Amino acid sequence: MRTLESLGELAGKTVIVRSDLNVPLKDGVITDDGRIRAAAVTVSELRDKGARVVVCSHLGRPGGEVKPEFSLRPVAERFGEIIGSPVAFVSESVGEAADQAIQALNNGEVLLLENLRFNPQETSKDETERQAFAAELSKHTDFVVLDGFGVVHRSQASVTELAKARPSVAGRLVAAEVDVLEKLTVDAEKPYVVVLGGSKVSDKLGVIDHLLERVDKLVIGGGMLFTFLAAQGHSVASSLLESDQIPNCQKYLERAKELGVELLLPVDVVVAEKFAPDAAHETVAADKIAESRFGEAGIGLDIGPESAKKFAETISGAKTVFWNGPMGVFEMPAFAHGTREVAEALTRVSGLSVVGGGDSAAAVRQLGFKDDQFGHISTGGGASLEFLEGKTLPGLEVLR
């Protein structure tokens, strides 16, 4: 994959960087700036090399219309604080104002364009429309840097077409992500443990399928554990269940056995009366969920303490760990214990520990862990999962 080195002298060159600045916002305030910090590495390097840096990104799903609540303006300010020099902002991504702002840049200055998805061409199904948008975006630039790992699995104008419009390379973030994800798919150091959780088993089947032959142990928690328990014939009361996936879970339980992969499911579960932060709850054995004092109304919202301990031991003894998906509804403090224990165990891994997935990354930060306590925190949830499913990612293909 081509990287920044192959661009040669950058002083005075105008470089457009496709970042992923899709940060969570609440009433116009950024609630987690992890993605901005991740994007800052490439942008500061380009700035320091004297390039004129144009940054572009999407934010949320405005659906091809200008919607002020999805403006990137608040991101420009925070970006400037993070890189320690001002980041100018222009309230469109293409057009006269954008052209003028780009041409007004001096060496080492940074400009952020407005949300790409305010323009319907960005995500158009029509390739010529996407090409036209990419041509506009790159009109006054010399090079393209793809650094939004969160979007490399998308065929969108600012990804595939933009990369074809000018000489293009991977930014530091994309290069680092690919480097780590390759370590998880090719010759990972053993013992190799994969921990999966989160809400839906159907989202994670592809990963289970691709990684099952590569791992020593597969640990399952989160909402998806209930479909596995159901596949073993246990009742899960009112817990999250994807009935149509029961046969698939049965298939993976069997394949794990054939491959000699240890598949760890919780031995105990925290069952709540209802889905609420203050809900009454109790810990029961994983095969006795329907026998909690809440009966058929009981909802499993976290793995139990014994399971958390067992999972943590398994994780901390590994040389390679990939974790995707919270162990419980960590957003509610009463049901965050399992996720906290698993995160804690990852910080003790002596080899490579990787956290992937938007909610998982948010969970470790919300629980007070620091990014540098982990080997790597992947910024692109969907993209990292697709990579680990063995899929071809269009935004990486164009850079090879």
Q: Catalytic amino acids?
A: 35, 200, 358, 382
150 counts as binding ligand ADP under rule CB under 6 A: no
In the chain, count H helices and then E strands.
14, 17
Q: Of 148, 203, 180, nearest to 385 (Cα)?
A: 203
273 counts as binding Mg ion under rule CB under 5 A: no
Q: How far is the CB of 382 from Mg ion (least distance, A)?
A: 8
DSSP state of 107: T
Other Cβ atoms less than 10 A from the Cβ of 289: the count is 24
| Interface pick for Mg ion out of 359, 365, 377, 399 (rule CB under 5 A) | 359
Cα 233 to its chain centre, rounded Å, is 33
Alpha helices in 235-388 (DSSP H): 246-259, 305-316, 337-347, 358-366, 381-388
Q: How far is the CB of 236 from ligand ADP (least distance, A)?
A: 10
300 binds, among Mg ion, ligand ADP, none (CB under 5 to 8 A by kind): ligand ADP
20 counts as binding Mg ion under rule CB under 5 A: no
Give the x-and-dash track for 330-369 against ligand ADP (CB under 6 A).
-x-------------------------xxxx---------
Structure token digits, residue 249? 């879970």
338 binds, among ligand ADP, Mg ion, none (CB under 5 to 8 A by kind): none
Across the beta sheet with 281-285, the strand order is 281-285, 268-272, 299-303
Residues 6+ apart with CB under 8 A from 270: 281, 282, 283, 300, 301, 302, 303, 304, 328, 334, 335, 337, 338
Calpha distance 244→370 (Å, rounded): 38
324 counts as binding ligand ADP under rule CB under 6 A: yes
Residue whose CB is less far from Mg ion, 161 or 386 = 386
Q: Of 345, 262, 271, 352, nearest to 311 (Cα)?
A: 345
The full DSSP string for 334-375 is GG-HHHHHHHHHHHT-SSEEEEESHHHHHHHHHTT--GGGSS
| Interface pick for ligand ADP out of 56, 301, 308, 349 (rule CB under 6 A) | 301
Q: How far is the CB of 225 from Mg ion (least distance, A)?
A: 16
304 counts as binding Mg ion under rule CB under 5 A: no
349 binds, among Mg ion, ligand ADP, none (CB under 5 to 8 A by kind): none
223 counts as binding ligand ADP under rule CB under 6 A: yes
Residue whose CB is less far from ligand ADP, 15 or 301 = 301
| Interface pick for ligand ADP out of 329, 343, 364, 398 (rule CB under 6 A) | 329
Enumerate binding residues for ligand ADP (CB under 6 A). 197-199, 203, 222-223, 240, 300-301, 324-326, 328-329, 331, 357-360, 381
Residues that bind Mg ion (CB under 5 A): 358-359
